[in-house]
Amino acid sequence: MISIKKIVLLLFVVLQMQATLVFAQSVQTYPSNWFVQMKNHKVQVLLRSTSADFTKANLKLNYPGVRLLGVHHFENGHYVAADIDISPAAKAGNLQFEIITAGKTIKVPWSLLARRKGRGTQFAQGLNSADLIYFLMPDRFSNGDKSNDRVVGLKDQSLNRDSIFLRHGGDLQGVTNHLDYLQKLGVTSLWMTPVVENDMPDRTEHGYAATDNYAIEKRFGGEKAYLTLSDSLHSNGMKLIQDIVYNHFGRFHFLVQDAPSKDWLHQWPVYTQTHYREQAIFDPYHSVADERKMINGWFTTEMPDVNHENPFVEKYLTQNAIWSVETFGVDAFRVDTYKYCNVEVMNRLNKALLDEYPKIFTYGECWVDGVAAQAYFVENNMNLPFKSNLKASSDFSLLFGGLLPALNESNSWNNGVIKLYSTLAHDFLYKQASNNVIFLDNHDMTRILSSLGENIAKNKMAYTWLFTSRGIPQLYYGSEILMKGISNPDGWVRLDFPGGWEGDKKNAFTEQGLSKEETDFLHYVQLLGSYRKKSAALTTGKFMQYLPDNGLYVYFRYDAHETVMCVMNTDTKERKVKFSDFQERTNGFKAGKNIESGNSIGSEFSIPAMTMQVIELTK
């Protein structure tokens, strides 16, 4: 018979075990797991518990092939960091960190997983000029799962499609449901606004204020929906681009609200916002104060600036990027607010990704003033103290300095289409200009149709240029069906894609309810996408342009087997075009085929005012 004393002792042991288990479950780990056989085998695991004091904690780890190299403590006792080395001999499995603190041992489970290659899908493929990117906002594209429209416990419980600022309910399942629509456009790669958790009180529709970099937004369907989308893209021969933010966190990120130490963020005596002027970084006459404010100033009050100079922060961001590729099969990264980051740290982060995934492609949002400024942030041919290893930039300079003036300004010596020619002439600054992502609009700027005064003829020229110029073209959701909007405020350029919600009277996926103009324009974009996809000259060929002649601008895309002649007439009157004026590229060709009409064109032809033609030359 068991004595009362033994029963009490047994009960005490059970309660202690339960308390330890609960305590262990309250410890979060970042990264949440790692992988065997990685080149990045030295990992720093950040352990956090809001109910513990790890100020003087000791750590133990006993797992074959894994060594504990060091332990780091912080001024905030909620955190402790473990440096570990995962040898090539380590096998996939579950290990435990033992945290010894205040006389207690807390066992924290942590996993080593097999590499993603076991899933049998391609990933980390990178991007190149043969790709066509489609950019969308998950919350505004399609609601494929109503059950996640609101998630209990999250701060923002809004759901109102009548508001341009509140959540609308779009999700990742909605995107997966409509990959066939993207394929009809010739799209090869999908970029979405950030899909990580944004547990902010409001304006959570855009995703740029992360509150946990290791969690996928539950209102988008969470990790399962993101994996499903990734696998669906890859099984259809498409690629996944992840929008990632290194510059800032959301104000309610746990690393802001409960930072390990004050130096995880750029701190100021009073709130200090960046001045947004990138010249303060590379200007040979700049002041240190201006440079510091540019890089260390906050983007907004809701987006605290991350301190890249802190080695723990650099490790956290680097590991999260690598973990994202391996976990979700990411093929490329688009980096938000790149010009505000510490470029030396970005170089090291980019290199770490390339060391692990040699084909990975990273391009930055470098919204800057001029080609030279843009080239500074990417691989370039300039002799500068700092040399970037960033593959490419979103080509804001080519859009604002070239295409929009070409279509909106009257032609003169310095205005109009000559600006498009001149901007491209500065491509000598780039190591590989064809890496740059060219585009007409995005979620932060006025839609292209509105930028062109709602002139559909000009809009058609813009899309024709987009599909035929050098670089990697990117579409912005809905502009292919003539969605319009002026970015003041930005909500007007982030409206719902028609047909993405049950009961929508207009459905662009099926073309039901579209006007004739909208349908015709969609079909034209589909034609351009289909032709570009099969044209080696447009996807991987060389580029040659001729000086504009009073508004008539001609350029060629060509390789050893195919030559495509692109004629843009920005003049106010019809113009004559002769092959003989472009002998360097037309020699040996006697005619051509208009890719839109399919009609044959002779070596002399006319092109109407404010139109553009794409002609495949024939012998």
Please identify every residue annotated as catalytic.
336, 365
How many of the other CB atoms lie within 10 Å of CB of 517?
11
Sorted by sequence, the CB contacts under 8 Å of residue 516 that are 6+ apart come out as: none
Q: Which residue has the tokens 């960033």?
A: 390
3-state secondary structure of 577: strand
Sorted by sequence, the CB contacts under 8 Å of residue 9 that are 6+ apart come out as: none
DSSP secondary structure string for all residues of 424-492: HHGGGGBS-GGGSEEES--TTS--HHHHTTT-HHHHHHHHHHHHHSSSEEEEETTGGGT-----SSGGG
Rounded to the nearest 10 degrees, how much is the dihedral formed by the CA atoms of 197, 202, 204, 206?
-140
Structure tokens at 149: 């429209």
Is the omega angle on the peptide bond into residue 31 within 30 degrees of 0, that is, cis?
Answer: yes
Structure tokens at 60: 């133990």
Cα–Cα distance measured from residue 225 to residue 218, given in angstroms and rounded to the nearest whole number: 9
Cα–Cα distance measured from residue 497 to residue 483, given in angstroms and rounded to the nearest whole number: 9
Q: Which residue has the tokens 């309810």?
A: 513
Q: Which residue has the tokens 């005064």?
A: 453
Sorted by sequence, the CB contacts under 8 Å of residue 263 that are 6+ apart come out as: 307, 310
How many of the other CB atoms lie within 10 Å of CB of 421?
17
DSSP character at residue 13:
H
Cα–Cα distance measured from residue 233 to residue 151, given in angstroms and rounded to the nearest whole number: 26
Helices (H), 469-572: 516-534, 536-540
Cα–Cα distance measured from residue 410 to residue 419, given in angstroms and rounded to the nearest whole number: 11
Sorted by sequence, the CB contacts under 8 Å of residue 530 that are 6+ apart come out as: 186
Burial of 108 per CB tally in 10 Å (0-12, 13-18, 19+): buried
